[in-house]
Chains A and B, each alone.
Chain A
Amino acid sequence: MNVFKKTNIGKLLIIFLIIFALFIPFILGSNQYQVLLATTVLLYGVMATSWNIIGGLAGQLDFAAFAYLGLGAYTSGTLLIRFNLTPWIGMILGGVIAAGFALLIGIPLFRFRIKEVWYALTTSALVEILKVSFNMWEEVGGPVERCLPYFSGSLLHMRFTSYIPYYYMMFAMLIIALFLNQRIASSKLGYYLKALGEDESAAEVLGVDTQTTKLKALLCYSFLIGMTGGIYANMYGYIHPSFFNGQETTKIAILGIVGGRGITYGPLLAALLLVGAQEYLRASLGGEFSGLYLLIYAIILIIVVLFKPRGIATFVQDAYKKIITGEVKNKDVV
């Protein structure tokens, strides 16, 4: 019974899930549309997991996820269109630009102690500001969508005729985001973040440099999402100011809160359940009920906030604890 030791159950489950996720494109392989939907689910998983660093651990309610995604997409897309620079590099530059923008916004925000509701409002304004700016900035953006070259596919330029490579790239991003989340959560930075997330002034009194700490979390979050933006632009094959999407950016925060703030796998769990259900319904019902999915998100958010404010991942935590304690009891009997 060595296999069922306390710590092994979690590890086995993770390995099983990874293998399962790796095989999904083979199961769906014949249907490109379904692969795209699976990739979309992963995209929201990546974004919600990255959001967890700033929104969950640091407790800063951030609504700017799609601002960073759009910046990453525009950087990598524009570099490919204008300078024929491969998105493999453009993607990283996208992350750098997104993080740079976050730094530019974050330094004054945290210096002037803009927090709580004003932080949330500022970040939701950012998405709209960028959307309007890119609409007006004709050289790069403009209201007409710009298509990326190499329609017939080119590995060097990250353009593929199938969605399957994008699925694996998104999956790799997810693993990176989860790994980074776990590393931060169990590091000194993570404890600082959790402390200031609970009570900022108390953390400050205890000697936490809240400005720098929050800035670090913001940088990690925006860099991850900026890089994802590079994949996003190549996956859809165009760039457009509608990437700065006010509705979807709220969804990321909703996923993070519903999943469980500060729990590494919580936002991912919420993304798998909610976005998975949404994309499945979209595939079977068609696009005419676009308001309906949003309604479901809203109702689930309100129910979770009222009755399970720590998020649905606490169900998993409780179940896991129950299994472990059950095991312990069994051992006692034996």
Chain B
Amino acid sequence: MDVMIQSILNGMLMGCIYALIALGLSLIFGVMNVVNFAHGNFVMLSMYFTFWVGTLYKIDAVLSPLITFPLLFLFGILVYYGLISRTLREHYTIQIAVTVGLMTFLGAITQLIWQARPRALAYSFVQGTIQFGSYTIALSRLISAIISLIIIMVISFFLARTWPGRAIRATSDDSSAASLMGIDFQKTYALAFGLGSGLTAIAGGLLMTFQQVDPTMGLRFGLLSFCILALAGLGSIAGLVISGLIVGISESLAMSFWDPRARTLVIYLIFILVLWLRPRGLFGRK
């Protein structure tokens, strides 16, 4: 029982970060109906950037998004104008193919630059553990989960209350009506893409406080965030957080009670089952 509660706790903390990663994907998919296959590799890239910033300038992983967020935001906008906007009107195979190309490109280039061995940073200043009765929680995971939730709330405030956020929501509801209202859809798409990829910078920084990075991680984070997106459906940020928690908890339970190798298996099985049984997700409105 103790092991169970402990792994549920760990899973919940990871789930918050997963939800943050999936939020970026969901923003992009919701607005322009493009699934960015390279999203997992964006996470991996920002983890490597965090590693770089951390080793070159001795900046702590928690603070590194101050540098990596603008980098990834810019990268996202460049990707949008260079690749995505040129294929928006094409057959969907081409739309997917261009992001698959990007995914392969990022995977290959990280393999060339940083080689296949895993990289990790020196200890972050949020170290240590907290005891809750008989349960132990790593402080770095707790702080990461809290920061993730705060960022998710900031984004949902941004979407609900600010003008660019409303433009994003309007475009995702009906892009032609939105452009008739004077919203430049190219700029809105670019903003959404930049924001979606910028969010991975924050997630990457948080993950680096307690994890290492290697070039095979991209695929795992990619499928993981697709799974959360499929679970949550579109349009509900609370649903996204709950789905993130579900995925995090089931992954953690599978690792402690079944087999450590089964962690990805469980996520993929949930993904396929959800697609079969509830194609709109548990909380989707579209």
Bound CA span A55–B262, Å: 30
Task: Kindly supply a per-residue 1/0 record for chain A positions 272-302, scoring 1 wherever the CB is within 8 Å of any chain B CB and 0 otherwise.
Answer: 0000000000000000011111110111011
Task: Kindly supply a per-residue 1/0 record for chain B positions 89-115, scoring 1 wherever the CB is within 8 Å of any chain A CB and 0 otherwise.
Answer: 011111011101111110111011000
Chain B residues with Cβ under 8 A from A72's Cβ? Answer: none
Smallest Cβ distance from B7 to chain A, in angstroms? 19
Smallest Cβ distance from A178 to chain B, in angstroms? 22
B275 & A118 in contact (Cβ 8 Å cutoff): yes
Say yes or no for A113: interface residue by CB 8 A criterion.
yes
A128 & B264 in contact (Cβ 8 Å cutoff): yes
Chain A residues with Cβ under 8 A from B86's Cβ? Answer: 306
B91 & A291 in contact (Cβ 8 Å cutoff): no
Closest to A124 in B: B223
B108 & A291 in contact (Cβ 8 Å cutoff): yes
Say yes or no for B87: interface residue by CB 8 A criterion.
yes
Say yes or no for B219: interface residue by CB 8 A criterion.
yes
A302 & B261 in contact (Cβ 8 Å cutoff): no
Closest to A198 in B: B91
Chain A residues with Cβ under 8 A from B279's Cβ? Answer: 112-114, 118
Chain B residues with Cβ under 8 A from A133's Cβ? Answer: 265
Smallest Cβ distance from B106 to chain A, in angstroms? 8
Say yes or no for B226: interface residue by CB 8 A criterion.
yes
B265 & A129 in contact (Cβ 8 Å cutoff): yes
Say yes or no for B174: interface residue by CB 8 A criterion.
no
Say yes or no for B269: interface residue by CB 8 A criterion.
yes
A306 in complex: contacting residue of B87, B93, B100, B262, CB < 8 Å = B87
A132 in complex: contacting residue of B92, B215, B261, CB < 8 Å = B261
Closest to A56 in B: B93
A302 & B271 in contact (Cβ 8 Å cutoff): no
B109 & A118 in contact (Cβ 8 Å cutoff): no
Task: Kindly supply a per-residue 1/0 record for chain A positions 71-87, scoring 1 wherever the CB is within 8 Å of any chain B CB and 0 otherwise.
Answer: 00000000000000000
A298 & B102 in contact (Cβ 8 Å cutoff): yes
A257 in complex: contacting residue of B93, B223, B230, B276, CB < 8 Å = B93
Smallest Cβ distance from A295 to chain B, in angstroms? 4
Q: Which residues from 230 to 265 on chain A have a C-beta closer than 8 Å to any C-beta of chain B? A: 246-247, 250, 253-254, 257, 261
A305 & B105 in contact (Cβ 8 Å cutoff): no
Chain A residues with Cβ under 8 A from B272's Cβ? Answer: 122, 125, 129
Bound CA span A295–B37, Å: 16
A117 & B87 in contact (Cβ 8 Å cutoff): no
Bound CA span A261–B262, Å: 36
With contact pairs A132-B262, A305-B97, A306-B83 given, residues A125 and B104 touching in the complex (Cβ less than 8 Å): no
With contact pairs A114-B275, A295-B108 given, residues A302 and B83 touching in the complex (Cβ less than 8 Å): yes
Task: Kindly supply a per-residue 1/0 record for chain B positions 253-272, scoring 1 wherever the CB is within 8 Å of any chain A CB and 0 otherwise.
Answer: 00000010110110011011
Q: Which residues from 148 to 181 on chain B have a C-beta closer than 8 Å to any C-beta of chain A? A: none
Smallest Cβ distance from B103 to chain A, in angstroms? 8
Say yes or no for A135: interface residue by CB 8 A criterion.
yes
Main secondary structure of the interface of B (DSSP, over half): helix
A122 & B275 in contact (Cβ 8 Å cutoff): yes
A261 in complex: contacting residue of B93, B264, B268, CB < 8 Å = B93
A295 in complex: contacting residue of B112, B261, B276, CB < 8 Å = B112
Max count, chain B CB within 10 A of own CB: residue among A135, A198, A305: A305
B271 in complex: contacting residue of A113, A121, A247, CB < 8 Å = A121
A294 in complex: contacting residue of B35, B92, B97, B111, CB < 8 Å = B111
Smallest Cβ distance from A45 to chain B, in angstroms? 20
B96 & A301 in contact (Cβ 8 Å cutoff): no
Bound CA span A301–B97, Å: 8
Say yes or no for A9: interface residue by CB 8 A criterion.
no
Bound CA span A334–B109, Å: 57
A305 & B98 in contact (Cβ 8 Å cutoff): yes
Bound CA span A124–B276, Å: 16
Residues of A that sit less than 8 Å from B by CB: 55, 59, 61, 108-109, 112-114, 116-118, 120-122, 124-125, 128-129, 132-133, 135-136, 198, 246-247, 250, 253-254, 257, 261, 289-295, 297-299, 301-302, 305-306, 309
Minimum-distance CB pairs A-B, first 9: A291-B111, A298-B105, A294-B108, A298-B104, A295-B108, A301-B101, A302-B101, A291-B112, A125-B268
New A-B contacts (19) at CB < 8 Å, excluding given A301-B97, A305-B101, A309-B91: A61-B96, A114-B276, A116-B96, A117-B92, A118-B275, A121-B226, A125-B271, A128-B219, A128-B268, A133-B265, A136-B261, A250-B100, A289-B112, A291-B112, A299-B105, A302-B102, A305-B94, A306-B98, A309-B87
